[in-house]
Structure 1
């Protein structure tokens, strides 16, 4: 993706994020910039120059409240999708997309709505990283793989290589999914996520690496604000601890050969 196109994508994502923030602030819903978006806010006061997505997180109770309220409050330019409302959508996190746009990942076989999006990740409670968490996340990954298979969503993209071995690895999930209902799989997944809200850790639900994105809950108890592309958004008050845990010396730029887009996008249309 060339720099001019990437910047146009980022500005649409910023527009979506502002709409999410508006709904949250009007309805007393806590949200946070997370991941590379939070890193961009602190290090660049905006997008990481080569970043092609924007991520927001909410603790599960706020996430569920947002999912209920957003369809009634969203500007008509946008739509909310999640794996309960869209039979073809395979992910445990919701998205807000801009209608009339296309942002299609390469060879994903994803039949769901693929407009330019912002991801909204629920954060769920756990007692911490250990054997119990490993067992739980193994079950989550199995259920998630079954949902993906049910939605005909492949977990690799063109250009990643070893496609045949990856297809064979996923074949058992595709066969099993024939006999299962997506609604049942989603219900089992979300029931497994329910934990005591007094537990001391929160993990990002929807990531590929549950352990990396598991943090002490104290990081999220209080919020502060950070500048992002000339606007101000909520971030965890303990953003420094979060970023050091996730990225190490996060103010240092990565080598130039690592400064690349994360998504392989095969089709972009801004609806203009």
Structure 2
């Protein structure tokens, strides 16, 4: 991962636009009684900085699968936003969705491989039930991990990789195209697979989309059952009541600032704020 160094004015503008999207997302969730949580780096920023991590340039939320399915069903694209997912865009290469601000651009270099534009957005991660059976769990996690990687490689050829990884990535891309396994088909297969393990009484949930890890992230489901509100910039947002446990598992001593060479955001190649 890399650190994109923005000038102060640009970063402030990015934060203002992202905060606007967050407020609109929260308004929609509140109107429809949908539970969301600040997630990953955005949860960390909420607790440690009462807002954005100072060098960060995006926002993440998460929902349990049942809440996300309701969100997806109720959300209707309008002149301001659309919801990017494989259901709405067949070549969308992720299991998490994006609430996307239309007529803007916030693009990494590889995004020119897509047939649609990604603008300023909020990532919406989905937490799925994980089986309590210890023998089936390993299979579920390994297959979910494989689906996540295949979905990405079915659309994206990453050139900024070590030689061997680049060769593997490109080879898998061509094999999947030969087999006619596009992101939409892989997503449908994965959702069918995940649905086999759906259990309201499951003790654990997991994030299939964790890309910076060698395995999907696993959480205690009880940690996401209770909501509390915490200040984020000039609003209050939902966080899991057991946020300390979650952040400690993710980041260790999370209140300690990382050294400068460990501060990451997104290597954005092109920005267009549109009318915002």
Aligned to 2:176: 176
Q: Distance in 2 between matches of 1:6 and 1:157?
A: 27
| 2:72 pairs with one of 49, 67, 70 | 67
User: Deviating runs (4+, > 6 A) in structure 1?
Assistant: none
**Which residue number corresponds to residue 167 of structure 1?**
166
The residue aligned with 2:154 is 150
Q: Which residue of 2 aligns with 1:192?
A: 193
Q: Per-residue deviation at 1:113?
A: 2.5
2:98 and 2:199 map into 1 onto residues whose CA distance is 26
RMSD: 2.1
SS in 2 for 1:219: helix
- 8 Å contact 2:144–2:208 — kept in the other structure? no
**Partner SS for 2:75:** helix
Structure 1: where are the runs of 5+ without partners?
none
**Aligned pair 1:234/2:238, yes or no?**
yes
The answer as to whether partners of 1:146 and 1:177 remain within 8 angstroms in 2 is no
Name 2:98's counterpart in structure 1.
95
How far residue 254 of structure 1 moved from its aligned partner, in angstroms, is 0.8
TM-score by length of 2: 0.88
The answer to whether the 8 Å contact 1:157/1:264 transfers is no
Distance 1:68 1:252, change over 3 A: same
Deviations 1:158-196 (A, max 9, x none): 4xx52x322211213431333224333211111122221
Q: Between Structure 1 and Structure 2, how many residues are aligned?
A: 264
**What are the within-5 Å matches in structure 2 for residues 210-221 of structure 1?**
211=215, 213-221=217-225
CA distance in 1, matches of 2:248, 2:218: 13
How far the C-alpha of 1:211 sits from its partner, in A, is: 4.5
| Gaps in structure 2 of 5+ consecutive residues | none
Do 2:210 and 2:216's aligned partners in 1 also have CA atoms closer than 8 Å? no
Match of residue 28 from structure 1: 33
Q: Distance in 2 between matches of 1:167 and 1:137?
A: 24
Residue 250 of structure 1 and its aligned partner are, at CA, apart by 0.8
Q: Which of 20, 42, 46 does residue 15 from structure 1 map onto?
A: 20
Counterpart CA distance in 2 for 1:157 and 1:9 is 27
Deviations 1:10-35 (A, max 9, x none): 22111111111111111111110011
Tell me the distance in 2 between the aligned counterparts of 1:130 and 1:168: 35
Tell me if the contact between 2:62 and 2:125 (Cα under 8 Å) persists in the aligned partners: yes
**CA-to-partner distance for each residue in 1:79-129, whole Å, 9 max, x for gaps?**
111111102211111111111110111234333331011000111011369
Deviation at 1:130, TM superposition (A): 5.8
Call closer, same or farther: CA 1:264–1:99 in 2, change over 3 Å: same
Q: Aligned equivalents of 1:235 and 1:19: distance in 2? A: 17
1:230-255 CA distance string (max 9 Å, x none): 10111101111111111111111111
Could you state the TM-score of these two structures normalised by the residue count of structure 1? 0.89
2:260 aligns with 256
2:145–2:215 contact (8 Å) kept in structure 1: no
